[in-house]
């Protein structure tokens, strides 16, 4: 593999995502809507694969089950959770250029906060701005009809603790996982899909016996880190842990650590692992008047469990995967006259587990016998893996198109294939080619996808 360069500018990533059909601006034909983005054919498949992988890792174990709770919840939920009183950001305006921003994000010089736009120090007093979106339920607007779009998926899990525990008869420790949309009226959204007002979260609340919380907090910290390094294969140097000091802890947390990723604009939070104590269940118990206790059959005691939370944004993780995988690679190629020249290609070095397409079928010619065979291969493989089919342009161009969207294998069907019943399989990263019999193709590709790095070298 040649010399590799990551994209250092977010604008290049935004351009690439649009050009290759990963992410478009929402309502673009109307000029777009600030901070809202639409996932195109490849982006939606990539994000779905990420969510499926997370869901599988979380729920393919006996101690974690999944739920799918509604976005609109009883308004008292948010009083109990602390979101109505505490889920605020400190908002200030610059008196000079009128920019509005989060006071805690403002640059500090000589101990004084400055406007991030014009550098002025003349700022208004801080006002606390609640980040929850409000709407009305039913045809009559008014106090009694106000509901909120959930700002996190976690509360749907807490209010269902009793239902899930009773129906599954799970014993502590056990977890409940959920994937779903959340909404926050962020003061300063931005950096592409990193901070938006509508986003998807993948959260898991793990209920434990009080006193065992620190052990499980450490366990989930290790498990989640391994998800990024071992399962997803994110570059280690682009990940770091940041433990929150006592001043930076949220109102509910006993301990918290962030997994941060090195985006082109700097380090940013991907996931939080939190020890929430028994705050949430106790609050809901108090506000609802319903017991949310667990009866421990061993100690014969009743208590409110403690909770370890793991919370990651699907959109942020998709962005991290994109920033981590999109590279420009320069190879030295030998020309027919023996001279050497540089050849640069764009490659999306994404883990095959989450690549939008696993394989592309490329018939060398549009002629009927080849197309017929290629179509048959497409249909045969399609039931086992996501397959693309491309007949347009030179084979070199088609390889480049597939490289850029991260397709691990290209299968070229040529005229020899009609005779020897073999096809050429090309590896995305090593660009090596192997002749493989059509009979063995499905098995070969499956093995290759499992051990991709070792396969083409």
The DSSP result for 53-119, as a single string, is HHHHHHHSSTTEEE----SB--THHHHHHTHHHH-EEEEEEBTTT--EEEGGGS-EETTEE--TTT-
272 contacts ligand ATP (rule: CB under 6 A):
yes
Minimum Å gap between C-beta 169 and ligand ATP is: 30
Provide the minimum distance between the beta carbon of 80 and ligand ATP in the complex, in angstroms, as a whole number: 17
Q: Is residue 152 close enough to count as binding ligand ATP by CB under 6 A?
A: yes
Q: Name the segment binding ligand ATP (CB under 6 A); options: 39-47, 71-79, 265-273, 446-454.
A: 265-273
Q: Which residue has the tokens 């959204």?
A: 189
Residues 405 and 399 sit within 8 Å (Cβ to Cβ): no
Helix (H) or strand (E) holding 138, with range, is: none
Q: Are 68 and 180 in contact (CB under 8 A)?
A: yes
User: Is there binding between residue 324 and ligand ATP (CB under 6 A)?
Assistant: no
Name the packing angle between helices 314-325 and 41-59 (round to 10°).
110
The stretch near ligand ATP (CB under 6 A) out of 58-66, 72-80, 305-313, 360-368 is: 305-313
Would you say 201 or 407 has its CB closer to ligand ATP?
201
- Tokens of residue 314, six digits: 């699907």
Annotate each residue in 160-199 with x if it binds ligand ATP (CB under 6 A) or - if it does not, as one string.
Answer: ------------------------x-x--------xx--x
Shortest distance (Å) from residue 386 CB to ligand ATP: 26
* Cβ 69 to ligand ATP shortest distance, Å: 16
| Cα–Cα distance, 167 to 155 (Å, whole number) | 19
Nearer to ligand ATP, 154 or 410 (CB): 154
- Of the residues 305, 313, 406, 456, which one makes contact with ligand ATP according to CB under 6 A: 313
Q: Which is nearer to ligand ATP, 187 or 391 (CB)?
A: 187
CB of 158 to ligand ATP, least distance (A): 14
- Among the residue ranges 63-71, 222-230, 309-317, 433-441, the one whose residues contact ligand ATP (CB under 6 A): 309-317
CB of 27 to ligand ATP, least distance (A): 18
Structural element, H or E, at residue 184: none
Give 187 or 327: the residue with its C-beta nearer to ligand ATP: 187
Q: How far is the CB of 352 from ligand ATP (least distance, A)?
A: 24
Provide the token pair at 2: 């040649």
Q: In what order do the strands lie in the sheet with 255-263?
A: 64-66, 174-183, 198-208, 306-313, 266-277, 255-263, 239-243
Smaller CB separation from ligand ATP, 3 or 104: 104
CB of 97 to ligand ATP, least distance (A): 24
Residues 78 and 216: their CA atoms lie apart, in Å, by 27
**Neighbouring-strand partners of residue 101:** 92
Give the helix/strand (H/E) hosting 48: helix 41-59
Nearest to 282 by CA among 75, 81, 70: 81
Distance between CA 142 and CA 138 in Å, rounded? 10
Q: Per CB under 6 A, does 312 bind ligand ATP? A: yes
DSSP code of residue 172: S
Among 315, 329, 403, 414, binds ligand ATP (CB under 6 A): 315
For ligand ATP, the binding residue among 201, 209, 412, 424 (CB under 6 A) is 201
Q: Least distance (Å) from ligand ATP to the CB of residue 94? A: 21
Give the binding site for ligand ATP (CB under 6 A): 152, 184, 186, 195-196, 199, 201, 269-272, 311-313, 315-316
């Amino acid at each position: 593999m040649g010399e590799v360069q990551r994209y250092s500018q977010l604008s290049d990533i935004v351009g690439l995502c649009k050009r290759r059909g990963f992410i478009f601006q929402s309502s673009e034909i109307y000029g777009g809507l600030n901070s809202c983005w639409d996932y195109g054919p490849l982006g939606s498949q990539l994000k779905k694969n990420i969510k499926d992988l997370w869901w599988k890792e979380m729920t393919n174990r006996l101690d974690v089950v999944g739920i799918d709770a509604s976005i609109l919840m009883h308004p008292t939920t948010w009083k109990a959770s602390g979101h109505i009183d505490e889920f605020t950001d400190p908002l200030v305006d610059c008196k000079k250029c009128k920019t509005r921003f989060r006071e805690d994000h403002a640059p500090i010089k000589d101990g004084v906060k400055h406007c991030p736009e014009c550098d002025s120090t003349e700022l208004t007093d801080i006002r606390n701005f609640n980040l929850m979106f409000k709407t009305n339920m039913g045809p009559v607007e008014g106090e009694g009809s106000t509901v909120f779009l959930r700002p996190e998926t976690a509360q749907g899990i807490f209010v269902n603790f009793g239902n899930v525990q009773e129906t599954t008869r799970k014993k502590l420790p056990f977890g409940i996982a959920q994937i779903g949309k959340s909404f926050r009226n962020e003061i300063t959204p931005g950096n592409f899909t990193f901070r938006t007002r509508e986003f998807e979260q993948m959260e898991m609340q793990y209920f434990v016996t009080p006193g065992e919380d620190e052990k499980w907090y450490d366990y989930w910290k290790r498990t989640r880190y391994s998800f990024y390094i071992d399962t997803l294969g994110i570059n280690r140097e682009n990940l770091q842990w940041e433990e929150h000091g006592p001043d930076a802890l949220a109102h509910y947390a006993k301990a918290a650590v962030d997994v941060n990723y090195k985006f082109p604009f700097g380090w940013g939070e991907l996931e939080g692992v939190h020890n929430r104590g028994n705050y949430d269940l106790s609050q809901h118990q108090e506000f609802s008047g319903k017991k949310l206790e667990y009866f421990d059959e061993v100690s014969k005691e009743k208590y409110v469990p403690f909770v370890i939370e793991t919370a990651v944004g699907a959109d942020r993780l998709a962005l991290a995967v994109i920033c981590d995988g999109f590279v420009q690679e320069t190879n030295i190629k030998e020309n027919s006259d023996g001279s050497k020249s540089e050849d640069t290609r764009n490659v999306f070095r994404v883990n095959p587990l989450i690549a939008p397409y696993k394989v592309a079928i490329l018939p060398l010619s549009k002629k009927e016998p080849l197309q017929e065979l290629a179509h048959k291969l497409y249909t045969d493989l399609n039931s086992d893996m996501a397959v693309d089919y491309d007949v347009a342009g030179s084979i070199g161009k088609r390889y480049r198109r597939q490289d850029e969207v991260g397709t691990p294998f290209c299968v070229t069907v040529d005229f020899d294939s009609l005779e020897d019943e073999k096809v050429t399989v090309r590896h995305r990263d090593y660009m090596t080619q192997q002749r493989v019999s059509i009979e063995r193709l499905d098995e070969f590709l499956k093995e290759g996808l499992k051990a991709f790095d070792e396969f083409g070298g």
